[in-house]
């Protein structure tokens, strides 16, 4: 897995707004197939701008976006259907009157027909636990069911990388558990998960790569354990903003340079302090990284 080529690669991507301010500054990272990446940051940090680039909706002012070995920033059609977005508000994404009409909308627009279209719809609804809901009217679904329906629509389009924007917003505990189980299963089947969230506690145990944006800059890029992990040490090769300040992690440097291995002394507390500085609520103290999940054995 470690030696496989990236599914998606972002190289020195920069985006400037019309007024000259930066939405993103020199962003670089990669995503491999079947991995789980979390993007965190305060409102206005650049998360939405980055997601729009990943979907091919914005051209960068400089830098490159590659997908499956092909340059995609100059040919955004490569990303169509391959990278799918699940909106924060399901009502903004649901277009069909019935569940089946809605889940088939995406693959129909990609040109699927006949038995292949029916098979994609059936498999997608089965994957999210909505088999038997085909003739239900979408407006009658619960909030959790609507969220799963929007995910099914993305799956039916055969997306290999799924971007989810704050997917747990508005869901109760059972609904959040259902969605988390589904995402873990999809990842195990080789689908890449790219999750935008403020609620790190629910997902860090499943996360292989944590990205933190602050004012358009990638201030952390690495394993969650490098910031708030069990050993509280900075993982080798992770990237973190410190710039010589006292609140930086031991061994950390400004994003974009290798930080190297840090020390165990106080790094976990410093990592939590940095999350708060960046406008992100840190997970509860006293929990190991493996305990930061709602999926307990038997649930």
Q: What is the pLDDT along the chain (299 residues), one digit of tens a residue?
A: 457 889 999 999 999 999 999 999 999 999 999 999 999 999 999 999 999 999 999 999 999 999 999 999 999 999 998 999 999 999 999 999 999 999 999 999 889 999 999 999 999 999 999 999 999 999 999 999 999 999 999 999 999 999 999 999 999 988 989 999 999 999 999 999 999 987 788 888 899 999 999 999 999 999 988 887 653 333 333 444 433 332 334 333 334 333 333 333 344 677 888 888 888 888 777 777 776 776 755 55
Q: Which residues of 24-59 are buried (b: 16+ CB within 10 A; e: fewer)?
A: bbbbbbebbbbbbbbbbbbeebbbebbbebbbbebe
Pairing status of strand 62-67 against strand 70-71 = antiparallel
The length of the chain in residues reads: 299
Name the residue with tokens 């990638």: 218
CB 101 within 8 A of CB 156: no
Query: Residue 64: its pLDDT value, please?
Result: 98
Query: Residue 237: its pLDDT value, please?
Result: 36
> Residue 166: which H helix or E strand, with range?
none
> Which residue from 218, 215, 232, 209 is spatially nearest to 286, judged by alpha carbons?
232
Contacts of range 253-262, beta carbons closer than 8 Å, 24 or more positions apart: 255/217, 255/218, 255/219, 255/220, 255/221, 256/26, 256/28, 256/218, 259/222, 259/234, 260/234, 260/236, 261/233, 261/234, 261/235, 261/236, 262/226, 262/233, 262/234, 262/235
Question: Domain spanning 1-82+160-299 has what CATH number?
Answer: 3.40.50.300
| Sign of the CA dihedral with 262 first, then 264, 266, and 272 last | positive
CA distance 284 to 107: 41
Query: Residue 2: its pLDDT value, please?
Result: 56
> Residue 280: which H helix or E strand, with range?
none
Helices (H) and strands (E) in the chain, counts: 7, 11
CA distance 241 to 233: 15
Phi, psi of 151 (to 5 degrees): -65, -40
Query: Residue 199: its pLDDT value, please?
Result: 76
Give the tokens for residue 25: 């500054």
Name the residue with tokens 């909706």: 57
Query: Residue 229: its pLDDT value, please?
Result: 61
- DSSP assignment of 197-264, as one string? -S-GGGTGGG-SEEEEEETTEEEEEE-THHHH-TT-PPPTT-EE--TT-TTSPTT-BSTTS------S
């Amino acid at each position: 897995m470690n030696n496989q080529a990236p599914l998606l690669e972002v190289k020195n991507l920069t985006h400037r707004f019309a007024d000259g301010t930066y939405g993103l500054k020199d962003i670089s990272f990669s995503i491999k197939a079947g991995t789980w990446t979390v993007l965190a940051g305060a409102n206005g940090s650049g998360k939405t701008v980055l997601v729009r680039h990943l979907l091919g909706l914005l051209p960068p002012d400089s830098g490159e976006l590659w997908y499956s070995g092909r340059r995609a920033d100059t040919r955004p059609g490569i990303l169509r259907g391959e990278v799918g977005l699940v909106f924060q508000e399901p009502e903004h994404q649901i277009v069909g009157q019935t569940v089946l009409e809605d889940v088939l909308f995406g693959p129909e627009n990609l040109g699927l027909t006949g038995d292949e279209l029916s098979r994609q719809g059936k498999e997608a609804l089965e994957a999210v636990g909505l088999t038997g809901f085909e003739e239900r009217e979408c407006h009658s679904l619960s909030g959790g069911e609507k969220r799963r329906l929007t995910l099914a629509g993305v799956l039916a389009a055969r997306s290999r990388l799924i971007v989810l924007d704050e997917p747990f917003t508005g869901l109760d505990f059972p609904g959040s558990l259902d969605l988390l189980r589904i995402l873990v299963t999809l990842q195990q089947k080789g689908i890449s998960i790219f999750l935008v969230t403020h609620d790190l506690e629910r997902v860090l145990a499943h996360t292989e790569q944590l990205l933190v944006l602050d004012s358009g800059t990638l201030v952390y890029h690495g394993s969650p354990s490098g910031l708030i992990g069990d050993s509280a040490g900075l993982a080798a090769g992770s990237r973190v903003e410190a710039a010589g300040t006292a609140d930086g992690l031991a061994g950390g440097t400004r994003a974009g340079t290798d930080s190297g291995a840090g020390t165990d002394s106080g790094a976990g507390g410093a990592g939590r302090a940095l999350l708060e500085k960046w406008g992100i609520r840190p997970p509860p103290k006293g929990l190991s990284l493996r305990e930061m999940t709602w999926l307990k054995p038997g649930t």
